[in-house]
Chain A
Amino acid sequence: METYIQIIANGLMLGALYACIAVGFSLVWGVLNVINMLHGSFIVLGGYLAFFAWAQLGVSPFVMLFVVAAALFLLGFLIQYGAINRVVSKPVLLTLTLTFGLDLILYNFMNVVFEATPRRITLDLGSLGIGEVMLPYDRLLAMLLALAMTGILYWVLRSSRIGRAIVAVRMDRDAAALMGIRVNKVYAITFGISAMMAGACGALMAVVYPITTNTTGLLLGKAFTICVIGGLGSVPGALVGGLALGLIESFAGTWLGAQYAILIGSLLMLTLLMVRPTGLIGKRGYE
Protein backbone atom coordinates (compact mmCIF):
# COMPACT_ATOMS: atom_id res chain seq x y z
CA MET A 1 0.00 0.00 0.00
CA GLU A 2 2.70 2.45 1.01
CA THR A 3 4.56 1.85 -2.24
CA TYR A 4 1.47 2.80 -4.25
CA ILE A 5 1.04 5.98 -2.28
CA GLN A 6 4.71 6.74 -2.81
CA ILE A 7 4.40 6.16 -6.55
CA ILE A 8 1.33 8.36 -6.70
CA ALA A 9 3.01 11.07 -4.64
CA ASN A 10 6.05 11.00 -6.92
CA GLY A 11 3.76 11.14 -9.93
CA LEU A 12 1.87 14.13 -8.62
CA MET A 13 5.03 16.02 -7.72
CA LEU A 14 6.35 15.41 -11.23
CA GLY A 15 2.93 16.05 -12.77
CA ALA A 16 2.59 19.49 -11.19
CA LEU A 17 5.83 20.54 -12.87
CA TYR A 18 4.63 19.04 -16.15
CA ALA A 19 1.36 20.94 -15.91
CA CYS A 20 3.25 24.16 -15.37
CA ILE A 21 5.43 23.46 -18.42
CA ALA A 22 2.48 22.61 -20.63
CA VAL A 23 0.13 25.38 -19.66
CA GLY A 24 2.23 28.10 -21.31
CA PHE A 25 2.83 26.02 -24.41
CA SER A 26 -0.90 25.37 -24.66
CA LEU A 27 -1.69 29.06 -24.17
CA VAL A 28 0.52 30.15 -27.07
CA TRP A 29 -0.76 27.37 -29.27
CA GLY A 30 -4.37 28.16 -28.44
CA VAL A 31 -4.26 31.95 -28.62
CA LEU A 32 -1.59 32.61 -31.25
CA ASN A 33 -1.95 29.37 -33.20
CA VAL A 34 1.83 29.08 -32.94
CA ILE A 35 3.58 25.84 -32.04
CA ASN A 36 6.45 27.31 -30.09
CA MET A 37 9.62 25.28 -30.67
CA LEU A 38 11.45 27.55 -28.22
CA HIS A 39 9.50 26.28 -25.25
CA GLY A 40 11.97 23.59 -24.15
CA SER A 41 14.86 26.04 -24.33
CA PHE A 42 12.96 28.58 -22.23
CA ILE A 43 12.61 25.95 -19.50
CA VAL A 44 16.30 25.07 -19.61
CA LEU A 45 17.29 28.74 -19.68
CA GLY A 46 15.24 29.33 -16.54
CA GLY A 47 16.92 26.33 -14.93
CA TYR A 48 20.41 27.59 -15.76
CA LEU A 49 19.70 31.08 -14.48
CA ALA A 50 18.49 29.63 -11.20
CA PHE A 51 21.45 27.28 -10.99
CA PHE A 52 24.10 29.94 -11.51
CA ALA A 53 22.41 32.36 -9.13
CA TRP A 54 22.44 29.60 -6.52
CA ALA A 55 25.95 28.25 -7.23
CA GLN A 56 27.74 31.57 -7.61
CA LEU A 57 25.72 34.05 -5.58
CA GLY A 58 24.01 31.73 -3.13
CA VAL A 59 20.54 32.92 -4.10
CA SER A 60 17.79 30.46 -3.25
CA PRO A 61 16.02 29.13 -6.35
CA PHE A 62 12.71 29.86 -4.66
CA VAL A 63 13.66 33.54 -4.63
CA MET A 64 15.39 33.47 -8.01
CA LEU A 65 12.12 32.16 -9.40
CA PHE A 66 10.74 35.68 -9.48
CA VAL A 67 13.79 37.14 -11.20
CA VAL A 68 13.75 34.34 -13.77
CA ALA A 69 10.03 34.90 -14.32
CA ALA A 70 10.55 38.60 -14.99
CA ALA A 71 13.54 38.00 -17.28
CA LEU A 72 11.80 35.34 -19.32
CA PHE A 73 8.65 37.42 -19.62
CA LEU A 74 10.71 40.21 -21.10
CA LEU A 75 12.56 37.85 -23.45
CA GLY A 76 9.31 36.27 -24.62
CA PHE A 77 7.62 39.62 -25.07
CA LEU A 78 10.50 40.93 -27.18
CA ILE A 79 10.75 37.80 -29.33
CA GLN A 80 7.04 37.93 -30.12
CA TYR A 81 6.92 41.67 -30.63
CA GLY A 82 10.06 41.87 -32.72
CA ALA A 83 9.96 38.66 -34.70
CA ILE A 84 6.97 36.34 -34.52
CA ASN A 85 4.34 39.09 -34.83
CA ARG A 86 5.61 39.72 -38.34
CA VAL A 87 4.38 36.32 -39.49
CA VAL A 88 1.83 35.43 -36.83
CA SER A 89 -1.17 35.31 -39.16
CA LYS A 90 0.69 33.23 -41.75
CA PRO A 91 0.20 29.45 -41.99
CA VAL A 92 1.35 27.50 -38.95
CA LEU A 93 4.27 25.92 -40.83
CA LEU A 94 5.87 29.35 -41.24
CA THR A 95 5.66 30.28 -37.57
CA LEU A 96 6.85 26.79 -36.66
CA THR A 97 9.88 27.26 -38.86
CA LEU A 98 10.60 30.67 -37.38
CA THR A 99 10.46 29.44 -33.78
CA PHE A 100 12.56 26.43 -34.80
CA GLY A 101 15.21 28.79 -36.16
CA LEU A 102 15.06 30.99 -33.08
CA ASP A 103 15.36 27.89 -30.93
CA LEU A 104 18.56 26.88 -32.74
CA ILE A 105 20.00 30.28 -31.85
CA LEU A 106 18.98 30.10 -28.19
CA TYR A 107 20.03 26.46 -27.86
CA ASN A 108 23.48 27.06 -29.26
CA PHE A 109 23.86 30.24 -27.27
CA MET A 110 23.19 28.25 -24.09
CA ASN A 111 25.62 25.54 -25.17
CA VAL A 112 28.36 28.12 -25.60
CA VAL A 113 27.66 30.13 -22.47
CA PHE A 114 26.57 27.45 -20.01
CA GLU A 115 28.06 24.28 -21.58
CA ALA A 116 25.94 21.15 -21.70
CA THR A 117 27.18 19.65 -18.43
CA PRO A 118 24.18 18.54 -16.33
CA ARG A 119 23.86 20.72 -13.26
CA ARG A 120 21.55 20.40 -10.33
CA ILE A 121 20.72 22.54 -7.35
CA THR A 122 21.03 20.47 -4.16
CA LEU A 123 19.26 22.05 -1.24
CA ASP A 124 19.10 19.11 1.20
CA LEU A 125 16.02 20.34 2.97
CA GLY A 126 15.14 16.90 4.25
CA SER A 127 11.92 15.01 3.79
CA LEU A 128 8.45 14.92 5.17
CA GLY A 129 7.83 11.33 6.26
CA ILE A 130 4.28 10.07 6.52
CA GLY A 131 4.52 6.43 7.51
CA GLU A 132 6.76 4.82 4.92
CA VAL A 133 6.04 7.55 2.36
CA MET A 134 8.81 10.10 1.92
CA LEU A 135 8.13 13.52 0.47
CA PRO A 136 11.32 15.55 0.02
CA TYR A 137 10.64 19.14 1.03
CA ASP A 138 12.34 20.63 -2.03
CA ARG A 139 10.12 18.61 -4.37
CA LEU A 140 7.07 19.36 -2.31
CA LEU A 141 7.77 23.08 -2.42
CA ALA A 142 8.45 22.91 -6.16
CA MET A 143 5.13 21.14 -6.66
CA LEU A 144 3.18 23.68 -4.62
CA LEU A 145 4.76 26.62 -6.42
CA ALA A 146 4.10 25.03 -9.81
CA LEU A 147 0.46 24.48 -8.88
CA ALA A 148 0.21 28.01 -7.52
CA MET A 149 1.56 29.50 -10.76
CA THR A 150 -0.86 27.42 -12.80
CA GLY A 151 -3.71 28.54 -10.55
CA ILE A 152 -2.72 32.19 -10.84
CA LEU A 153 -2.65 31.94 -14.62
CA TYR A 154 -6.11 30.41 -14.55
CA TRP A 155 -7.37 33.24 -12.41
CA VAL A 156 -5.69 35.90 -14.56
CA LEU A 157 -7.23 34.52 -17.76
CA ARG A 158 -10.70 34.34 -16.29
CA SER A 159 -10.95 37.38 -14.12
CA SER A 160 -8.52 40.12 -15.09
CA ARG A 161 -8.69 42.78 -17.75
CA ILE A 162 -5.69 41.46 -19.66
CA GLY A 163 -7.04 37.92 -19.30
CA ARG A 164 -10.31 38.94 -20.90
CA ALA A 165 -8.34 40.59 -23.68
CA ILE A 166 -6.28 37.43 -24.28
CA VAL A 167 -9.38 35.25 -24.44
CA ALA A 168 -11.12 37.77 -26.70
CA VAL A 169 -8.18 37.81 -29.12
CA ARG A 170 -8.22 34.04 -29.19
CA MET A 171 -11.94 33.93 -29.96
CA ASP A 172 -12.11 36.65 -32.60
CA ARG A 173 -9.14 38.88 -33.29
CA ASP A 174 -11.06 41.37 -35.44
CA ALA A 175 -13.83 41.78 -32.89
CA ALA A 176 -11.15 42.14 -30.22
CA ALA A 177 -9.50 44.90 -32.25
CA LEU A 178 -12.87 46.67 -32.39
CA MET A 179 -12.83 46.73 -28.57
CA GLY A 180 -9.65 48.79 -28.81
CA ILE A 181 -7.49 45.81 -27.89
CA ARG A 182 -4.08 46.06 -29.56
CA VAL A 183 -3.82 42.55 -30.88
CA ASN A 184 -0.06 42.54 -31.46
CA LYS A 185 0.56 43.72 -27.93
CA VAL A 186 -1.73 41.05 -26.51
CA TYR A 187 0.14 38.45 -28.58
CA ALA A 188 3.44 39.65 -27.14
CA ILE A 189 2.08 39.60 -23.58
CA THR A 190 0.69 36.11 -24.11
CA PHE A 191 3.99 34.84 -25.43
CA GLY A 192 5.76 36.59 -22.56
CA ILE A 193 3.49 34.88 -20.01
CA SER A 194 4.18 31.54 -21.66
CA ALA A 195 7.96 32.07 -21.54
CA MET A 196 7.63 33.26 -17.94
CA MET A 197 5.81 30.08 -16.91
CA ALA A 198 8.39 27.96 -18.74
CA GLY A 199 11.37 29.75 -17.18
CA ALA A 200 9.94 29.72 -13.66
CA CYS A 201 9.16 26.06 -14.05
CA GLY A 202 12.73 25.45 -15.24
CA ALA A 203 14.01 27.09 -12.06
CA LEU A 204 11.83 24.73 -10.02
CA MET A 205 12.93 21.73 -12.05
CA ALA A 206 16.58 22.52 -11.41
CA VAL A 207 15.85 21.76 -7.76
CA VAL A 208 14.62 18.30 -8.64
CA TYR A 209 16.49 17.24 -11.79
CA PRO A 210 19.82 18.01 -13.38
CA ILE A 211 19.61 20.81 -15.96
CA THR A 212 21.27 20.37 -19.33
CA THR A 213 20.70 21.71 -22.82
CA ASN A 214 20.33 18.12 -23.98
CA THR A 215 16.84 18.03 -22.52
CA THR A 216 15.31 20.95 -24.47
CA GLY A 217 13.83 18.64 -27.10
CA LEU A 218 12.60 16.19 -24.51
CA LEU A 219 10.85 18.92 -22.53
CA LEU A 220 9.29 20.33 -25.68
CA GLY A 221 8.02 16.85 -26.50
CA LYS A 222 6.50 16.54 -23.04
CA ALA A 223 4.69 19.86 -23.38
CA PHE A 224 3.33 18.64 -26.68
CA THR A 225 2.27 15.26 -25.27
CA ILE A 226 0.52 16.85 -22.29
CA CYS A 227 -1.43 19.20 -24.53
CA VAL A 228 -2.63 16.28 -26.62
CA ILE A 229 -3.52 14.19 -23.56
CA GLY A 230 -5.29 16.94 -21.65
CA GLY A 231 -6.79 18.75 -24.59
CA LEU A 232 -5.54 21.92 -26.16
CA GLY A 233 -6.63 25.35 -25.18
CA SER A 234 -7.40 25.33 -21.49
CA VAL A 235 -5.58 25.57 -18.19
CA PRO A 236 -7.54 22.65 -16.69
CA GLY A 237 -6.63 20.58 -19.77
CA ALA A 238 -2.92 21.21 -19.23
CA LEU A 239 -3.29 20.51 -15.52
CA VAL A 240 -5.07 17.20 -16.05
CA GLY A 241 -2.69 16.23 -18.87
CA GLY A 242 0.36 17.13 -16.79
CA LEU A 243 -0.78 15.23 -13.72
CA ALA A 244 -1.80 12.27 -15.88
CA LEU A 245 1.60 12.14 -17.58
CA GLY A 246 3.37 12.48 -14.23
CA LEU A 247 1.42 9.56 -12.77
CA ILE A 248 1.89 7.41 -15.87
CA GLU A 249 5.63 8.01 -15.92
CA SER A 250 5.86 7.31 -12.21
CA PHE A 251 4.03 3.99 -12.49
CA ALA A 252 5.73 2.94 -15.72
CA GLY A 253 9.10 3.92 -14.26
CA THR A 254 8.54 1.80 -11.16
CA TRP A 255 7.05 -1.24 -12.81
CA LEU A 256 8.79 -1.35 -16.17
CA GLY A 257 11.91 0.71 -15.63
CA ALA A 258 12.67 4.38 -16.27
CA GLN A 259 13.47 3.80 -19.93
CA TYR A 260 9.81 2.88 -20.58
CA ALA A 261 8.29 5.91 -18.88
CA ILE A 262 8.51 8.13 -21.97
CA LEU A 263 7.47 5.36 -24.31
CA ILE A 264 4.29 4.71 -22.35
CA GLY A 265 3.49 8.44 -22.30
CA SER A 266 3.85 8.62 -26.07
CA LEU A 267 1.76 5.50 -26.59
CA LEU A 268 -0.97 7.05 -24.49
CA MET A 269 -0.82 10.19 -26.61
CA LEU A 270 -1.17 8.15 -29.81
CA THR A 271 -4.08 6.17 -28.38
CA LEU A 272 -5.87 9.33 -27.28
CA LEU A 273 -5.30 10.91 -30.67
CA MET A 274 -7.11 7.97 -32.22
CA VAL A 275 -10.00 7.59 -29.79
CA ARG A 276 -10.47 11.10 -28.43
CA PRO A 277 -8.67 13.73 -30.52
CA THR A 278 -9.86 16.62 -28.33
CA GLY A 279 -8.00 15.17 -25.33
CA LEU A 280 -9.38 14.37 -21.90
CA ILE A 281 -10.86 17.84 -21.40
CA GLY A 282 -11.17 19.18 -24.90
CA LYS A 283 -12.34 22.77 -24.75
CA ARG A 284 -13.59 25.06 -27.41
CA GLY A 285 -12.47 28.21 -25.67
CA TYR A 286 -9.44 29.11 -23.62
CA GLU A 287 -10.35 29.24 -19.96
Chain B
Amino acid sequence: MSDLSAIVSPPAAAAQPKRPLLQIQGLEAGYGDVQVLWGVDLEIPNGEITCIVGSNGAGKSTLLRTISGMVRASAGSIHFAGQDMTGAGPDRMLGAGIAHVPEGRRLFRGMSIRDNLLLGAYMRHDSRADIERDLEFVYGMFPILKQREKQDATTLSGGEQQMCAIGRGIMSRPQLLLVDELSLGLAPRAVELLGEALLEINRSGLTIVLVEQDVLTAFDLASRAYVIETGKVSLSGSTAELAADPRVRRAYMGM
Protein backbone atom coordinates (compact mmCIF):
# COMPACT_ATOMS: atom_id res chain seq x y z
CA MET B 1 0.00 0.00 0.00
CA SER B 2 1.23 3.47 -0.81
CA ASP B 3 2.27 5.98 1.78
CA LEU B 4 -0.81 6.77 3.83
CA SER B 5 0.52 9.86 5.49
CA ALA B 6 0.87 11.41 2.05
CA ILE B 7 -2.83 11.97 1.69
CA VAL B 8 -3.92 12.84 5.17
CA SER B 9 -3.19 16.31 6.44
CA PRO B 10 -1.33 16.42 9.72
CA PRO B 11 -3.74 16.58 12.65
CA ALA B 12 -4.46 20.25 13.21
CA ALA B 13 -5.11 19.84 16.90
CA ALA B 14 -1.67 18.33 17.46
CA ALA B 15 -0.61 21.56 19.11
CA GLN B 16 -3.44 21.27 21.65
CA PRO B 17 -3.85 17.53 22.18
CA LYS B 18 -6.54 17.84 24.86
CA ARG B 19 -9.00 19.70 22.62
CA PRO B 20 -11.54 17.60 20.71
CA LEU B 21 -11.34 18.02 16.94
CA LEU B 22 -15.08 18.62 16.72
CA GLN B 23 -17.16 20.02 19.53
CA ILE B 24 -20.91 20.41 19.33
CA GLN B 25 -23.04 22.05 21.98
CA GLY B 26 -26.82 22.28 22.29
CA LEU B 27 -27.31 21.69 18.59
CA GLU B 28 -30.86 22.08 17.31
CA ALA B 29 -31.82 21.66 13.67
CA GLY B 30 -34.56 20.38 11.40
CA TYR B 31 -36.40 20.84 8.15
CA GLY B 32 -38.71 23.83 7.96
CA ASP B 33 -41.16 23.55 10.84
CA VAL B 34 -40.08 20.02 11.70
CA GLN B 35 -37.42 20.04 14.39
CA VAL B 36 -35.29 16.89 14.41
CA LEU B 37 -32.32 17.63 16.69
CA TRP B 38 -33.15 18.77 20.22
CA GLY B 39 -29.95 19.92 21.84
CA VAL B 40 -27.19 17.51 20.82
CA ASP B 41 -23.87 17.66 22.67
CA LEU B 42 -20.98 15.84 21.08
CA GLU B 43 -17.20 15.72 21.30
CA ILE B 44 -15.17 13.97 18.65
CA PRO B 45 -11.63 13.29 19.84
CA ASN B 46 -8.84 13.80 17.37
CA GLY B 47 -7.44 10.74 15.61
CA GLU B 48 -10.15 8.27 16.65
CA ILE B 49 -13.12 6.55 15.07
CA THR B 50 -16.32 7.58 16.83
CA CYS B 51 -19.59 5.95 15.93
CA ILE B 52 -23.10 7.29 16.21
CA VAL B 53 -25.80 4.67 16.49
CA GLY B 54 -29.53 4.82 16.96
CA SER B 55 -32.70 3.57 15.42
CA ASN B 56 -34.14 4.63 12.09
CA GLY B 57 -35.36 8.23 12.13
CA ALA B 58 -33.47 9.17 15.30
CA GLY B 59 -31.76 12.04 13.51
CA LYS B 60 -28.30 10.61 12.78
CA SER B 61 -28.23 11.71 9.15
CA THR B 62 -29.63 15.09 10.08
CA LEU B 63 -26.83 15.47 12.62
CA LEU B 64 -24.20 14.72 9.96
CA ARG B 65 -25.91 17.08 7.50
CA THR B 66 -25.83 19.84 10.09
CA ILE B 67 -22.14 19.22 10.73
CA SER B 68 -21.36 19.39 7.01
CA GLY B 69 -23.41 22.57 6.59
CA MET B 70 -26.19 21.11 4.44
CA VAL B 71 -28.75 21.79 7.17
CA ARG B 72 -28.52 25.02 9.14
CA ALA B 73 -28.55 24.83 12.92
CA SER B 74 -31.33 26.80 14.58
CA ALA B 75 -29.52 26.81 17.92
CA GLY B 76 -26.27 25.62 19.46
CA SER B 77 -22.72 25.74 18.20
CA ILE B 78 -20.22 23.77 16.12
CA HIS B 79 -16.51 24.19 16.77
CA PHE B 80 -14.03 22.48 14.50
CA ALA B 81 -10.26 22.47 15.02
CA GLY B 82 -10.65 25.36 17.44
CA GLN B 83 -12.69 27.48 15.03
CA ASP B 84 -16.32 28.48 15.45
CA MET B 85 -18.02 27.08 12.34
CA THR B 86 -21.63 27.58 13.42
CA GLY B 87 -23.80 28.58 10.47
CA ALA B 88 -21.18 27.85 7.81
CA GLY B 89 -22.35 26.37 4.50
CA PRO B 90 -21.06 23.14 2.97
CA ASP B 91 -18.28 24.81 0.99
CA ARG B 92 -16.80 26.40 4.12
CA MET B 93 -17.16 23.22 6.15
CA LEU B 94 -15.37 21.23 3.47
CA GLY B 95 -12.77 23.96 3.17
CA ALA B 96 -12.15 23.71 6.90
CA GLY B 97 -11.57 19.96 6.54
CA ILE B 98 -14.90 18.17 7.08
CA ALA B 99 -15.83 15.71 4.30
CA HIS B 100 -19.21 13.98 4.31
CA VAL B 101 -19.85 10.63 2.63
CA PRO B 102 -23.64 10.75 2.42
CA GLU B 103 -26.15 8.00 3.07
CA GLY B 104 -26.84 6.08 -0.13
CA ARG B 105 -23.43 7.08 -1.58
CA ARG B 106 -24.95 9.65 -3.96
CA LEU B 107 -22.40 9.13 -6.72
CA PHE B 108 -22.92 11.17 -9.87
CA ARG B 109 -24.71 9.14 -12.50
CA GLY B 110 -23.41 9.33 -16.03
CA MET B 111 -19.94 10.26 -14.81
CA SER B 112 -16.93 8.00 -14.67
CA ILE B 113 -15.39 6.78 -11.43
CA ARG B 114 -12.42 9.01 -12.14
CA ASP B 115 -14.62 12.10 -12.61
CA ASN B 116 -16.52 11.27 -9.43
CA LEU B 117 -13.24 11.09 -7.53
CA LEU B 118 -12.01 14.31 -9.12
CA LEU B 119 -15.18 16.07 -7.95
CA GLY B 120 -14.10 15.21 -4.43
CA ALA B 121 -11.06 17.40 -5.08
CA TYR B 122 -13.19 20.21 -6.56
CA MET B 123 -12.28 22.75 -3.87
CA ARG B 124 -8.58 22.08 -3.97
CA HIS B 125 -6.28 24.37 -5.88
CA ASP B 126 -3.28 22.08 -5.73
CA SER B 127 -1.34 21.13 -8.79
CA ARG B 128 -2.54 18.38 -11.11
CA ALA B 129 0.34 16.25 -9.95
CA ASP B 130 -0.80 16.45 -6.30
CA ILE B 131 -4.31 15.48 -7.24
CA GLU B 132 -3.09 12.65 -9.47
CA ARG B 133 -1.03 11.34 -6.58
CA ASP B 134 -4.06 11.29 -4.31
CA LEU B 135 -6.04 9.52 -7.04
CA GLU B 136 -3.34 6.89 -7.11
CA PHE B 137 -3.60 6.61 -3.34
CA VAL B 138 -7.33 5.91 -3.56
CA TYR B 139 -6.71 3.43 -6.39
CA GLY B 140 -4.06 1.76 -4.27
CA MET B 141 -6.56 1.28 -1.47
CA PHE B 142 -9.38 0.15 -3.77
CA PRO B 143 -7.78 -1.42 -6.88
CA ILE B 144 -11.17 -2.25 -8.40
CA LEU B 145 -11.75 1.49 -8.89
CA LYS B 146 -8.59 1.75 -10.95
CA GLN B 147 -9.65 -1.17 -13.15
CA ARG B 148 -13.03 0.44 -13.78
CA GLU B 149 -11.73 4.01 -13.88
CA LYS B 150 -13.62 5.01 -17.05
CA GLN B 151 -16.85 3.24 -16.18
CA ASP B 152 -20.02 5.01 -15.03
CA ALA B 153 -19.70 5.02 -11.24
CA THR B 154 -23.32 4.09 -10.66
CA THR B 155 -22.88 0.80 -12.53
CA LEU B 156 -20.62 -0.51 -9.74
CA SER B 157 -21.90 -2.93 -7.12
CA GLY B 158 -23.07 -1.44 -3.82
CA GLY B 159 -19.80 -2.18 -2.04
CA GLU B 160 -17.72 -0.78 -4.88
CA GLN B 161 -19.88 2.34 -4.94
CA GLN B 162 -19.22 2.79 -1.24
CA MET B 163 -15.48 2.52 -1.97
CA CYS B 164 -15.85 5.20 -4.61
CA ALA B 165 -17.86 7.43 -2.25
CA ILE B 166 -15.24 7.08 0.49
CA GLY B 167 -12.51 7.72 -2.06
CA ARG B 168 -14.34 10.83 -3.22
CA GLY B 169 -14.53 12.01 0.39
CA ILE B 170 -10.81 11.47 0.91
CA MET B 171 -9.95 13.32 -2.30
CA SER B 172 -10.72 16.60 -0.53
CA ARG B 173 -7.87 15.86 1.94
CA PRO B 174 -10.07 16.28 4.99
CA GLN B 175 -9.18 16.15 8.67
CA LEU B 176 -12.53 14.65 9.58
CA LEU B 177 -14.45 12.12 7.52
CA LEU B 178 -18.18 11.69 8.20
CA VAL B 179 -19.50 8.37 6.89
CA ASP B 180 -23.27 7.84 6.90
CA GLU B 181 -24.39 4.18 6.85
CA LEU B 182 -21.26 2.37 5.80
CA SER B 183 -22.84 -1.09 5.71
CA LEU B 184 -26.46 -0.48 4.74
CA GLY B 185 -27.53 -2.92 2.02
CA LEU B 186 -24.05 -4.36 1.48
CA ALA B 187 -22.82 -7.93 1.51
CA PRO B 188 -20.88 -8.98 4.65
CA ARG B 189 -17.66 -9.42 2.68
CA ALA B 190 -17.92 -5.87 1.30
CA VAL B 191 -18.58 -4.50 4.78
CA GLU B 192 -15.48 -6.27 6.03
CA LEU B 193 -13.31 -4.80 3.25
CA LEU B 194 -14.68 -1.32 3.80
CA GLY B 195 -14.19 -1.61 7.56
CA GLU B 196 -10.54 -2.56 7.05
CA ALA B 197 -10.11 0.38 4.70
CA LEU B 198 -11.60 2.78 7.27
CA LEU B 199 -9.29 1.44 9.95
CA GLU B 200 -6.31 1.95 7.70
CA ILE B 201 -7.39 5.47 6.79
CA ASN B 202 -7.83 6.18 10.48
CA ARG B 203 -4.42 4.77 11.42
CA SER B 204 -2.86 7.26 9.05
CA GLY B 205 -4.28 10.08 11.19
CA LEU B 206 -7.70 10.88 9.78
CA THR B 207 -10.48 11.25 12.36
CA ILE B 208 -13.67 9.41 11.43
CA VAL B 209 -17.29 9.70 12.50
CA LEU B 210 -19.24 6.63 11.50
CA VAL B 211 -23.04 6.52 11.53
CA GLU B 212 -24.38 2.99 11.56
CA GLN B 213 -27.60 1.13 12.10
CA ASP B 214 -25.63 -2.06 12.53
CA VAL B 215 -24.33 -1.59 16.06
CA LEU B 216 -22.09 -4.66 16.00
CA THR B 217 -20.18 -3.43 12.95
CA ALA B 218 -19.96 0.05 14.38
CA PHE B 219 -18.64 -1.05 17.77
CA ASP B 220 -16.14 -3.27 16.04
CA LEU B 221 -14.57 -0.33 14.23
CA ALA B 222 -15.01 2.56 16.65
CA SER B 223 -13.37 3.30 19.96
CA ARG B 224 -16.10 5.63 21.19
CA ALA B 225 -19.84 5.72 20.61
CA TYR B 226 -22.85 8.00 20.95
CA VAL B 227 -26.38 6.64 21.04
CA ILE B 228 -28.98 8.99 19.60
CA GLU B 229 -32.68 8.74 20.36
CA THR B 230 -35.30 11.11 18.97
CA GLY B 231 -32.82 13.87 18.30
CA LYS B 232 -30.90 13.70 21.58
CA VAL B 233 -27.84 11.89 22.87
CA SER B 234 -29.09 9.23 25.27
CA LEU B 235 -25.83 7.43 26.02
CA SER B 236 -22.15 7.86 25.25
CA GLY B 237 -18.83 6.34 26.17
CA SER B 238 -16.21 3.91 24.99
CA THR B 239 -17.53 1.14 22.78
CA ALA B 240 -16.21 -1.45 25.24
CA GLU B 241 -18.31 0.11 28.03
CA LEU B 242 -21.41 0.52 25.92
CA ALA B 243 -21.20 -2.99 24.50
CA ALA B 244 -21.54 -4.25 28.05
CA ASP B 245 -24.40 -1.89 28.94
CA PRO B 246 -27.64 -3.87 29.26
CA ARG B 247 -29.69 -0.99 27.82
CA VAL B 248 -27.61 -0.98 24.64
CA ARG B 249 -27.57 -4.77 24.44
CA ARG B 250 -31.34 -4.95 24.74
CA ALA B 251 -32.27 -2.08 22.44
CA TYR B 252 -29.66 -2.31 19.69
CA MET B 253 -27.91 -5.66 19.78
CA GLY B 254 -30.93 -7.88 20.17
CA MET B 255 -29.60 -9.53 23.35
Contacts and interface: CB of A to CB of B under 8 A. Distances in A.
Q: Do A and B assemble together?
A: yes
Interface of A: 161, 164-165, 167-168, 171-172, 174-182, 284-287
A178 B102 contact: yes
A286 B120 CA distance: 19
B109 A179 contact: no
A184 to B, nearest CB: 10
A180 B122 contact: yes
Interface in B76-131: 89-91, 94-95, 100, 102, 106-111, 115, 118-120, 122-123
Interface string B233-245: 0000000000000
B162 interface: no
A178 B108 contact: no
A180 B89 CA distance: 9
* Top 9 closest pairs, chain A to chain B, by CB: A285-B110, A180-B123, A175-B106, A180-B94, A180-B91, A171-B108, A177-B90, A179-B122, A179-B119
Given A168-B111, A171-B111, A174-B70, A181 B106 contact: no
A287 B68 CA distance: 29
Given A164-B119, A171-B109, A180-B123, 19 more contacts: A164-B111, A164-B122, A171-B108, A171-B110, A171-B111, A172-B106, A174-B70, A175-B107, A175-B108, A178-B68, A178-B94, A178-B100, A178-B106, A179-B119, A179-B122, A181-B122, A284-B109, A284-B110, A285-B109
Contacts of B123: 179-180
Contacts of A172: 106, 108-109
A182 B172 CA distance: 15
Nearest to A158: B115
Nearest to A167: B111
A201 B173 CA distance: 42
Nearest to B115: A164
A1 to B, nearest CB: 43
Q: Which of B106, B118, B168 has the most CB of A within 10 A?
A: B106
Contacts of B110: 167, 171, 284-287
Contacts of A176: 108, 119
A257 to B, nearest CB: 43
Contacts of A179: 94, 119-120, 122-123, 168, 172
A165 B122 contact: yes
A56 B106 CA distance: 54
Nearest to A177: B90
A184 B118 CA distance: 21
Contact of B95 (A167, A177, A180): A180
Given A164-B111, A180-B90, A181-B91, A174 B119 contact: no
Q: Interface SS of chain A: helix, strand, loop or mixed? A: helix
Contacts of A181: 91, 119, 122
A175 B122 CA distance: 12
B124 to A, nearest CB: 9
Q: Which of A161, A168, A175, A180 has the most CB of B within 10 A?
A: A180
Contacts of A284: 109-110
Contacts of B109: 171-172, 284-285
Contacts of A178: 68, 70, 90, 94, 100, 102, 106
A174 to B, nearest CB: 7
7 contacts: A164-B118, A165-B122, A172-B106, A174-B70, A178-B68, A178-B100, A179-B123
Contacts of A285: 109-111
A168 B100 CA distance: 16
A69 B194 CA distance: 49
A172 B165 CA distance: 14
Interface string B167-188: 0100010000000000000000
Nearest to B178: A178
B108 A167 contact: yes
B85 to A, nearest CB: 14
Nearest to A286: B110
A259 B119 CA distance: 49
Q: Which of B70, B100, B110 has the most CB of A within 10 A?
A: B110
A176 B109 CA distance: 12
Contacts of B111: 164, 167-168, 171, 285
A174 B111 CA distance: 16
Contacts of B95: 180
Q: Which of A171, A175, A182, A284 has the most CB of B within 10 A?
A: A175
A179 B94 CA distance: 8
Contacts of B89: 177
A171 B112 CA distance: 13
Nearest to B100: A178
A54 to B, nearest CB: 41
Nearest to A172: B106
A43 to B, nearest CB: 29
A161 B131 CA distance: 13
B67 to A, nearest CB: 11
A181 B168 CA distance: 14
